[in-house]
Every structure is written in structure tokens, then in C-alpha cells.
Amino acid sequence: MSDSPATNVVIAVDGPAASGKSSVSRRVANRLGYAFVSTGLMYRAFTWVVCEAGIDPESDPEGVVAVLEKTDIQPDRRGNEIFLRVNGEDPGDALTSDRINSRVSIVAKIPDVRQALVKQQRASAHASDIVMEGRDIGSVVFPDTPYKFYLDASEEVRAQRRAAQGLGDEIAERDRMDANRKVSPLKVAEGATVIDTSDLSLDEVVETLLSHLAKQGLIPNA
Ligand code: CDP
């Protein structure tokens, strides 16, 4: 699989947990007819494999790397969304379980894991134009794309959004780990447009992104 830079358009959307990245990115992708990729779901899918193997990523990072070496990771395109199949399986709803929420940031800070998944992420831009969301898309995965956004929201608003989804999730703890890790920490990429979504509706954030892309000349003015 080639790891060369994409020739297609990549719109990178980064930000902390529950900042609205997935919902906004999915809508922008639908509006533009691009594919949508949630890289968080990729880290979650591999974390699921680690859990199923009975490995504790905190105490046994070498065990995680051993699992990685044995895991068959394949892209799985469904409609205009690209997911991962791990060992032929789609973990489905298990990806957003408490078990995964509490371990994913520990797994995601392991360099070998990031290297393997970044390769999958870059490959997904070979087949089509994409909107990709995550933590390091504009800074590491596609640093050369001119279309970069960083969505933020106050910690309080983000905690409310996650609770409204009915999910127990220590987002402050995940943000702390994601922002402080050595490899590819969560940060505003150079050249990214920062949007504070605390007081904006989903539609307003989508329109803000689209109007910015129109100003950049990627799409016609609405
Ligand atoms: O949806 P939410 O913002 O809660 O999280 P997510 O996007 O599903 O990402 C889950 C976790 O995966 C993050 O907390 C990070 O630890 C990790 N992740 C990452 O390290 N790099 C990415 N590009 C995307 C996610």
C-alpha cells in the first residue's frame, strides 16, 4: 500500500473530544460528495482488538504492539464513509463503549499504532476526495493540505454534548492524554482555521466551514 501524499482534495478537521468534529465533517462530506473518514473510529477499532486480546495497554504497551503485528487491518468503504475492518470484523456499537473510551487514548499514544493507522488514513485519500477528522490530520497526516480546520468548544459544552448522547466518557482525561503525548499531540495545526462552536448550532458550523472553503476557492460561493 502506498504511503505517498494524496493527490485528491483533503479537508482536515481536528479538535478535542466532543467538539462536533464527526457530525460536522460527515455533513460537509455529504454536501460536497466527498468521502468521510473518522480516524477516531480507527483508533477505537484497534483498541477493541486489544481489549478482546485481554491486553491492558497501560501496563503492557509491548503486548499492544505484538497484537498490532498480528492484526489484519483493512479499509471498509460503506456508502461514502470509510471504516476499518479488524481481523475481518466490524466492532459496531462496541466502539463507543466505556471500555473503549477509557483505553483508546492509551493505545493511541503508542508510536507503532499511530504509524500503522496513519498509513491507512493516507491511503484512504487515494481513492477519492475526503473530509477526515481527528486530532493530528492537519498537523501530521496531511500537513500540506490547504484546507484545515480546528473545532473547539468549552469543556462544559463538550461534556454536555457527550452526556446528551447518553455516553459516559471522561473527555477531560482523554483530552489531557491526547494533548500531552509525545507523538502527534492534539494541537492547532499551522494554517488551520479555528472555530469555537460553543454557541453555534451544527448547521451554523457547517455553513462556516463551507463559506471558508468558498473563500479559499475550493467550492463556488453559496
Ligand atoms: O469522538 P471523540 O472526539 O470523543 O473521539 P474520537 O474522535 O472517536 O477519538 C477517540 C480517541 O482516539 C481520541 O481521544 C484520541 O486518543 C485518539 N485519536 C488520535 O489519537 N488521533 C486521531 N487522529 C483520532 C483519534
31 Cα to the center of ligand 1, angstroms: 24
14 Cβ inside 6 Å of ligand 1 = no
**pLDDT at residue 165, as a whole number:** 76
105 Cβ inside 6 Å of ligand 1 = yes
Q: Cα(135)–Cα(150) distance, rounded to whole angstroms?
A: 9
Per-residue confidence band for 2, with pLDDT thresholds at 50, 70 and 90: very low
Distance, C-alpha 18 to centroid of its chain: 11
Q: Cα(196)–Cα(161) distance, rounded to whole angstroms?
A: 14
151 Cβ inside 6 Å of ligand 1 = no
Tens of pLDDT, residue by residue over 147-163, are 999 999 998 898 888 88
Closest CA to 85 of 31, 45, 56: 45
In the CATH scheme, what is the code of domain 12-214? 3.40.50.300
pTM: 0.94
**DSSP structure class, residue 7:** S
> Which one-letter amino acid corresponds to residue 145?
T
Q: Cα(5)–Cα(123) distance, rounded to whole angstroms?
A: 9
124 Cβ inside 6 Å of ligand 1 = no
Given a contact cutoff of 8 angstroms between Cβ atoms, the answer to whether 138 and 14 are in contact is yes
**pLDDT at residue 172, as a whole number:** 87
Mean pLDDT, residues 166-194 taken together: 90
**pLDDT at residue 168, as a whole number:** 64
17 Cα to the center of ligand 1, angstroms: 7
Tens of pLDDT, residue by residue over 54-71, are 999 999 999 999 999 999
The widest CA-to-CA distance across the chain, in whole angstroms, is: 52
Task: Kindly tell me if the per-residue pLDDT of 1 is higher than 50.
Answer: no
135 Cβ inside 6 Å of ligand 1 = yes
40 Cβ inside 6 Å of ligand 1 = yes
For ligand 1, atom 12, the nearest C-alpha belongs to 40
- What percent of the chain shows pLDDT beyond 90? 86
102 Cβ inside 6 Å of ligand 1 = no
174 Cβ inside 6 Å of ligand 1 = yes
- What percent of the chain shows pLDDT beyond 70? 95
17 Cβ inside 6 Å of ligand 1 = yes
158 Cβ inside 6 Å of ligand 1 = no
Pocket test for ligand 1, best of 47, 96, 102, 105 (most atoms within 8 A of CB): 105
Q: Cα(30)–Cα(21) distance, rounded to whole angstroms?
A: 14
The number of the ligand 1 atom at minimal distance from the alpha carbon of 21 is 3
For ligand 1, atom 3, the nearest C-alpha belongs to 17
